[in-house]
Amino acid sequence: MGRVDGRTVLVTGGARGMGAAFARRLVAEGASVVLTDVLAEEGKAVAAELGSAASFLPHDVTDEAAWLDVVAHAEAAFGPVSGLVNNAGIVHVDPIAALSEADYRRVIDVNQVGVFLGMKSVVPSMRRAGGGSIVNISSIGGIISFTNILGYVASKWAVRGMTKAAAQEFGPWGIRVNSVHPGVVATEMTADSARSNSMFHDQPLPRAGTPEELANLVLFLISDESGYSTGSEFVADGGFTTQ
Ligand SMILES: NC(=O)c1ccc[n+]([C@@H]2O[C@H](COP(=O)([O-])OP(=O)(O)OC[C@H]3O[C@@H](n4cnc5c(N)ncnc54)[C@H](O)[C@@H]3O)[C@@H](O)[C@H]2O)c1
Protein backbone atom coordinates (compact mmCIF):
# COMPACT_ATOMS: atom_id res chain seq x y z
CA MET A 1 0.00 0.00 0.00
CA GLY A 2 1.36 3.40 -0.99
CA ARG A 3 0.83 6.46 1.19
CA VAL A 4 -0.98 8.37 -1.60
CA ASP A 5 -2.54 5.51 -3.56
CA GLY A 6 -5.10 6.61 -6.13
CA ARG A 7 -4.38 10.35 -5.85
CA THR A 8 -4.08 12.59 -8.88
CA VAL A 9 -1.47 15.24 -8.08
CA LEU A 10 -0.32 18.27 -10.10
CA VAL A 11 3.27 19.44 -9.56
CA THR A 12 4.34 22.74 -11.14
CA GLY A 13 7.99 23.36 -11.94
CA GLY A 14 8.37 19.58 -12.14
CA ALA A 15 11.09 19.44 -14.79
CA ARG A 16 14.02 19.57 -12.36
CA GLY A 17 15.11 20.36 -8.81
CA MET A 18 12.63 19.92 -6.01
CA GLY A 19 9.60 19.58 -8.33
CA ALA A 20 11.12 16.52 -10.03
CA ALA A 21 11.93 15.02 -6.60
CA PHE A 22 8.33 15.61 -5.44
CA ALA A 23 6.99 13.84 -8.54
CA ARG A 24 9.32 10.85 -8.04
CA ARG A 25 8.37 10.45 -4.37
CA LEU A 26 4.62 10.81 -4.98
CA VAL A 27 4.64 8.26 -7.83
CA ALA A 28 6.69 5.85 -5.67
CA GLU A 29 3.92 6.06 -3.05
CA GLY A 30 1.08 5.34 -5.48
CA ALA A 31 -0.02 8.71 -6.89
CA SER A 32 -0.54 9.60 -10.53
CA VAL A 33 1.30 12.84 -11.24
CA VAL A 34 0.94 15.52 -13.89
CA LEU A 35 4.13 17.57 -14.10
CA THR A 36 4.15 20.99 -15.69
CA ASP A 37 7.00 23.37 -16.47
CA VAL A 38 8.26 25.84 -19.05
CA LEU A 39 11.24 23.50 -19.64
CA ALA A 40 9.60 21.01 -22.03
CA GLU A 41 12.51 18.67 -22.80
CA GLU A 42 13.51 18.22 -19.14
CA GLY A 43 9.86 17.80 -18.10
CA LYS A 44 9.20 15.12 -20.71
CA ALA A 45 12.31 13.24 -19.59
CA VAL A 46 11.18 13.17 -15.94
CA ALA A 47 7.70 11.95 -16.94
CA ALA A 48 9.18 9.27 -19.23
CA GLU A 49 11.37 8.02 -16.36
CA LEU A 50 8.26 7.68 -14.15
CA GLY A 51 6.25 5.66 -16.71
CA SER A 52 2.48 5.40 -17.03
CA ALA A 53 1.72 7.03 -13.66
CA ALA A 54 3.14 10.36 -14.86
CA SER A 55 2.47 12.80 -17.62
CA PHE A 56 4.09 16.10 -18.61
CA LEU A 57 2.46 19.25 -20.00
CA PRO A 58 4.34 22.41 -20.98
CA HIS A 59 2.75 25.23 -18.97
CA ASP A 60 3.64 28.67 -17.70
CA VAL A 61 1.98 29.08 -14.27
CA THR A 62 1.12 32.72 -15.07
CA ASP A 63 -1.27 31.62 -17.88
CA GLU A 64 -4.76 31.27 -16.39
CA ALA A 65 -6.45 29.84 -19.51
CA ALA A 66 -3.78 27.15 -19.77
CA TRP A 67 -4.31 26.23 -16.10
CA LEU A 68 -7.82 25.06 -17.07
CA ASP A 69 -6.31 22.85 -19.80
CA VAL A 70 -3.84 21.35 -17.32
CA VAL A 71 -6.60 20.47 -14.85
CA ALA A 72 -8.79 19.04 -17.64
CA HIS A 73 -5.87 16.94 -18.93
CA ALA A 74 -5.11 15.62 -15.43
CA GLU A 75 -8.74 14.75 -14.78
CA ALA A 76 -9.13 12.99 -18.15
CA ALA A 77 -5.88 11.03 -17.73
CA PHE A 78 -6.06 10.07 -14.05
CA GLY A 79 -9.35 11.28 -12.48
CA PRO A 80 -10.24 14.35 -10.36
CA VAL A 81 -7.28 16.20 -8.89
CA SER A 82 -6.79 15.70 -5.14
CA GLY A 83 -3.29 17.16 -4.78
CA LEU A 84 -1.52 20.29 -6.03
CA VAL A 85 2.07 21.29 -5.33
CA ASN A 86 2.60 24.94 -6.33
CA ASN A 87 6.37 24.65 -6.68
CA ALA A 88 7.41 26.67 -9.77
CA GLY A 89 9.46 29.68 -8.80
CA ILE A 90 12.19 32.07 -9.87
CA VAL A 91 14.61 34.39 -8.09
CA HIS A 92 16.04 37.69 -9.28
CA VAL A 93 19.07 39.17 -7.51
CA ASP A 94 19.58 42.95 -7.45
CA PRO A 95 19.75 45.61 -4.75
CA ILE A 96 16.51 47.62 -4.55
CA ALA A 97 18.06 50.73 -6.12
CA ALA A 98 19.00 48.72 -9.22
CA LEU A 99 15.89 46.51 -9.41
CA SER A 100 13.74 47.27 -12.47
CA GLU A 101 9.96 47.30 -12.19
CA ALA A 102 9.80 44.62 -14.90
CA ASP A 103 12.11 42.27 -12.97
CA TYR A 104 10.18 42.87 -9.73
CA ARG A 105 6.83 42.22 -11.44
CA ARG A 106 8.08 39.06 -13.16
CA VAL A 107 9.03 37.47 -9.82
CA ILE A 108 5.67 38.45 -8.30
CA ASP A 109 3.87 37.11 -11.35
CA VAL A 110 5.47 33.65 -11.29
CA ASN A 111 5.89 33.10 -7.54
CA GLN A 112 2.73 34.79 -6.25
CA VAL A 113 0.14 35.14 -9.05
CA GLY A 114 1.05 31.63 -10.26
CA VAL A 115 0.16 30.20 -6.84
CA PHE A 116 -3.16 32.10 -6.81
CA LEU A 117 -4.07 30.81 -10.28
CA GLY A 118 -3.13 27.26 -9.32
CA MET A 119 -5.29 27.23 -6.21
CA LYS A 120 -8.22 28.85 -8.04
CA SER A 121 -8.01 26.46 -10.99
CA VAL A 122 -7.88 23.15 -9.12
CA VAL A 123 -10.67 23.77 -6.63
CA PRO A 124 -13.59 22.58 -8.82
CA SER A 125 -11.72 19.33 -9.57
CA MET A 126 -10.79 18.87 -5.89
CA ARG A 127 -14.43 19.30 -4.94
CA ARG A 128 -15.31 16.58 -7.46
CA ALA A 129 -12.60 14.43 -5.83
CA GLY A 130 -14.31 14.95 -2.46
CA GLY A 131 -11.43 17.01 -1.02
CA GLY A 132 -7.72 17.44 -1.41
CA SER A 133 -4.43 18.91 -0.27
CA ILE A 134 -2.61 21.95 -1.68
CA VAL A 135 1.05 22.49 -0.82
CA ASN A 136 2.47 25.93 -1.61
CA ILE A 137 6.27 26.07 -1.75
CA SER A 138 7.30 29.30 -0.05
CA SER A 139 10.79 29.69 1.51
CA ILE A 140 12.43 30.80 4.73
CA GLY A 141 12.47 34.03 2.69
CA GLY A 142 8.72 34.02 3.48
CA ILE A 143 9.42 34.06 7.23
CA ILE A 144 12.56 36.21 7.51
CA SER A 145 14.32 38.30 4.87
CA PHE A 146 17.48 38.28 2.76
CA THR A 147 19.13 41.23 1.04
CA ASN A 148 19.07 41.80 -2.73
CA ILE A 149 16.01 39.63 -3.45
CA LEU A 150 13.14 42.00 -2.61
CA GLY A 151 10.67 40.56 -5.14
CA TYR A 152 11.41 37.01 -4.00
CA VAL A 153 10.92 37.88 -0.30
CA ALA A 154 7.69 39.79 -1.08
CA SER A 155 6.32 36.91 -3.14
CA LYS A 156 7.20 34.23 -0.57
CA TRP A 157 5.65 36.21 2.34
CA ALA A 158 2.56 36.57 0.13
CA VAL A 159 2.42 32.82 -0.49
CA ARG A 160 2.50 32.25 3.28
CA GLY A 161 -0.46 34.61 3.76
CA MET A 162 -2.41 33.36 0.75
CA THR A 163 -2.04 29.83 2.13
CA LYS A 164 -3.89 30.85 5.31
CA ALA A 165 -6.60 32.75 3.39
CA ALA A 166 -7.21 29.77 1.10
CA ALA A 167 -7.19 27.32 4.04
CA GLN A 168 -10.02 29.31 5.64
CA GLU A 169 -12.13 29.33 2.46
CA PHE A 170 -11.47 25.75 1.34
CA GLY A 171 -11.59 23.97 4.72
CA PRO A 172 -15.35 23.36 4.65
CA TRP A 173 -14.86 21.49 1.34
CA GLY A 174 -12.27 19.16 2.84
CA ILE A 175 -9.42 20.90 1.04
CA ARG A 176 -6.32 21.57 3.16
CA VAL A 177 -3.71 24.21 2.23
CA ASN A 178 -0.25 24.42 3.82
CA SER A 179 3.01 26.19 3.04
CA VAL A 180 6.50 24.69 2.99
CA HIS A 181 9.52 26.84 3.84
CA PRO A 182 12.81 25.32 2.71
CA GLY A 183 16.18 26.74 3.69
CA VAL A 184 18.97 26.32 1.16
CA VAL A 185 18.37 23.15 -0.84
CA ALA A 186 20.89 21.93 -3.41
CA THR A 187 19.24 22.55 -6.80
CA GLU A 188 20.12 24.59 -9.87
CA MET A 189 18.49 27.63 -8.26
CA THR A 190 21.12 27.65 -5.51
CA ALA A 191 24.02 26.06 -7.40
CA ASP A 192 26.43 28.77 -6.21
CA SER A 193 25.26 29.25 -2.62
CA ALA A 194 24.82 25.53 -1.88
CA ARG A 195 28.45 24.93 -2.77
CA SER A 196 29.75 27.57 -0.37
CA ASN A 197 29.85 25.89 3.04
CA SER A 198 30.65 29.21 4.72
CA MET A 199 26.99 30.22 4.67
CA PHE A 200 26.12 27.20 6.84
CA HIS A 201 28.56 28.09 9.64
CA ASP A 202 25.93 29.14 12.18
CA GLN A 203 23.26 26.70 10.99
CA PRO A 204 22.62 23.88 13.51
CA LEU A 205 22.75 21.33 10.67
CA PRO A 206 25.64 22.89 8.69
CA ARG A 207 24.78 21.76 5.16
CA ALA A 208 22.32 22.27 2.33
CA GLY A 209 19.13 20.24 2.32
CA THR A 210 18.42 17.71 -0.42
CA PRO A 211 15.38 17.74 -2.72
CA GLU A 212 14.54 14.27 -1.34
CA GLU A 213 14.31 15.61 2.23
CA LEU A 214 11.79 18.20 1.05
CA ALA A 215 9.96 15.53 -0.97
CA ASN A 216 9.36 13.55 2.24
CA LEU A 217 7.69 16.61 3.76
CA VAL A 218 5.55 17.24 0.69
CA LEU A 219 4.51 13.56 0.61
CA PHE A 220 3.39 13.86 4.25
CA LEU A 221 1.36 17.00 3.48
CA ILE A 222 -0.31 15.52 0.38
CA SER A 223 -1.17 12.34 2.28
CA ASP A 224 -3.91 11.91 4.89
CA GLU A 225 -1.16 11.56 7.53
CA SER A 226 -1.30 15.37 7.85
CA GLY A 227 -5.11 15.34 7.97
CA TYR A 228 -5.53 17.85 10.82
CA SER A 229 -3.04 20.42 9.44
CA THR A 230 -4.22 23.33 7.36
CA GLY A 231 -3.13 26.94 7.00
CA SER A 232 0.18 26.01 8.61
CA GLU A 233 3.86 26.62 7.93
CA PHE A 234 6.23 23.66 7.64
CA VAL A 235 9.89 24.69 7.87
CA ALA A 236 12.80 22.49 6.70
CA ASP A 237 15.91 24.65 6.96
CA GLY A 238 18.56 22.80 8.98
CA GLY A 239 17.68 25.13 11.84
CA PHE A 240 18.70 28.33 9.99
CA THR A 241 15.79 30.36 11.40
CA THR A 242 16.77 29.55 14.98
CA GLN A 243 19.41 32.29 14.64
N1 LIG B 1 16.54 25.67 -3.72
C2 LIG B 1 16.34 26.35 -2.63
O3 LIG B 1 17.25 26.56 -1.81
C4 LIG B 1 14.98 26.90 -2.30
C5 LIG B 1 14.78 27.41 -1.02
C6 LIG B 1 13.53 27.90 -0.67
C7 LIG B 1 12.49 27.83 -1.59
N8 LIG B 1 12.72 27.33 -2.84
C9 LIG B 1 11.59 27.28 -3.75
O10 LIG B 1 11.40 25.95 -4.18
C11 LIG B 1 10.79 25.93 -5.47
C12 LIG B 1 11.59 25.01 -6.40
O13 LIG B 1 12.89 25.56 -6.55
P14 LIG B 1 14.17 24.71 -7.01
O15 LIG B 1 15.22 25.01 -6.02
O16 LIG B 1 13.79 23.31 -7.31
O17 LIG B 1 14.57 25.53 -8.32
P18 LIG B 1 14.73 25.13 -9.85
O19 LIG B 1 15.10 26.40 -10.53
O20 LIG B 1 15.60 23.94 -10.00
O21 LIG B 1 13.25 24.68 -10.26
C22 LIG B 1 12.22 25.59 -10.48
C23 LIG B 1 11.41 25.09 -11.66
O24 LIG B 1 10.33 26.04 -11.89
C25 LIG B 1 10.22 26.20 -13.29
N26 LIG B 1 9.58 27.47 -13.63
C27 LIG B 1 10.11 28.71 -13.54
N28 LIG B 1 9.23 29.62 -13.97
C29 LIG B 1 8.11 28.93 -14.34
C30 LIG B 1 6.86 29.32 -14.86
N31 LIG B 1 6.57 30.62 -15.13
N32 LIG B 1 5.94 28.36 -15.11
C33 LIG B 1 6.22 27.07 -14.88
N34 LIG B 1 7.40 26.64 -14.39
C35 LIG B 1 8.33 27.57 -14.12
C36 LIG B 1 11.66 26.14 -13.79
O37 LIG B 1 11.72 25.93 -15.19
C38 LIG B 1 12.23 25.03 -12.95
O39 LIG B 1 12.09 23.77 -13.57
C40 LIG B 1 10.74 27.39 -5.92
O41 LIG B 1 9.46 27.93 -5.66
C42 LIG B 1 11.77 28.07 -5.03
O43 LIG B 1 11.51 29.44 -4.86
C44 LIG B 1 13.94 26.87 -3.22
List the residue whose alpha carbon is closest to atom 36 of ligand 1. Answer: 13
Rounded to two decimals, the pTM is: 0.98
Dump pLDDT digits (tens) for 130-145: 999 999 999 999 999 9
Dump pLDDT digits (tens) for 74-112: 999 999 999 999 999 999 999 999 999 999 999 999 999
Residue among 116, 152, 234, 240 flagged as catalytic: 152
**Distance from C-alpha of 105 to C-alpha of 164, rounded to nearest angstrom:** 23
The pLDDT value given to residue 145:
97
- 206 CA from centroid of ligand 1 (Å): 23
Q: Torsion angle, CA of 103/104/109/113, rounded to 10 degrees?
A: 170
**Residues 74 and 96 sit within 8 Å (Cβ to Cβ):** no
3-class state of residue 34 by DSSP: strand
Dump pLDDT digits (tens) for 113-125: 999 999 999 999 9
The pLDDT value given to residue 195:
62
Beta bridge partners of 35: 11, 56
The pLDDT value given to residue 191:
86
Give the residue among 193, 179, 16 at the shortest CA–CA distance from 86.
Answer: 179
85 lines ligand 1 (CB under 6 A): no
- 114 CA from centroid of ligand 1 (Å): 12
- Asked about 228 being catalytic, the answer comes back as no
**Residues 59 and 114 sit within 8 Å (Cβ to Cβ):** no
Dump pLDDT digits (tens) for 165-196: 999 999 999 999 999 999 999 999 998 776 66
